[in-house]
Amino acid sequence: MNIFKRFWKSLYSPADIASFRNDKIRKSIVYIIVLSFVTFLPLAYFTNVTTKNALKVGEETITKEIPDFNVKDGKLVLTDDSVKNIPISIDQDQLHIYFDASGTLDKDDVDNKIASYDSAVAFLSDSIYFTAAGVSQSISYDTAGISNKADLVDLYTSIESLAKYFIPIALLILFLFTLGSIFFRVALYSLFGFILSGFGRTGISFRQNWMMASYSITLAAVFTMVMEALQVVVPFGMEINMVVSMIFVFLAIRTIPPSEPTILEK
């Protein structure tokens, strides 16, 4: 059975998942890698889009919208006396820019102001805060080498020119993180199945539980991918996926023929 048929069967058939338990381990590894890649696609797309949207805020926009400032002792200091309305909020479609030398805003405030898949760049009183597609990072002005507005414009120009290099690298790192996370969950579900099957005393080894767990995550992975593609935030999504995957492991063990009884059937 090829990988596409295995994928389809794994969406709904614990019996077929159980039948894969004696396959070679390399098949499960290939399957996990492919499934991880498919699950990663929406995150990769939105990360790429939001990053490019952020870079569309060009030097002219920064020059006109961000007031003059200096950085003293690591703190943002406004030098334009004509600016009265602080914090400043600039909206560019799904990109939001905040400038606050007063210390009113913090990272949590920024997160609360934007939607889940929007991106934001916030010039806070003590650091620059970036967030895009759920990935956030803050950096001090000293670390960024920014002491005034001219430095900020220069930094933006440099980042824009390097974007074609760091976006693929960032996506590769995110994919490896996604892949590692899925391998960890498979190992966890394998242990769950190994416990249910009597720690191997009933003829179902940890290796076989690994094979079943590798395919039992399919429905949860597809659900995650669809929700990511639709930009829908599911409350307790991780917990729901864990429960669904464990149910598939449980049902797969239950469908093993009587010649290989399990602890659940005694």
Place of tokens 């490896």: 176
- pLDDT reported for residue 59: 66
Q: Are residues 98 and 34 in the same domain?
A: no
Banded pLDDT at 240 (limits 50, 70, 90): very high
- Does residue 196 form part of some domain? yes
**How many structural domains are present in the chain?**
2
For the chain, the average pLDDT equals: 85
- pLDDT reported for residue 58: 63
- pLDDT reported for residue 120: 84
Q: Are residues 179 and 134 in the same domain?
A: no
Q: Could you list the residue range(s) of the whole structural domain that residue 230 is in?
A: 3-46+168-255
Place of tokens 């399957």: 31
Q: Are residues 86 and 39 in the same domain?
A: no
- Does residue 62 form part of some domain? no
- Does residue 156 form part of some domain? no
In tens, the pLDDT along 181-204 reads 999 999 999 999 999 888 877 778
Q: Are residues 40 and 84 in the same domain?
A: no
Banded pLDDT at 261 (limits 50, 70, 90): very low
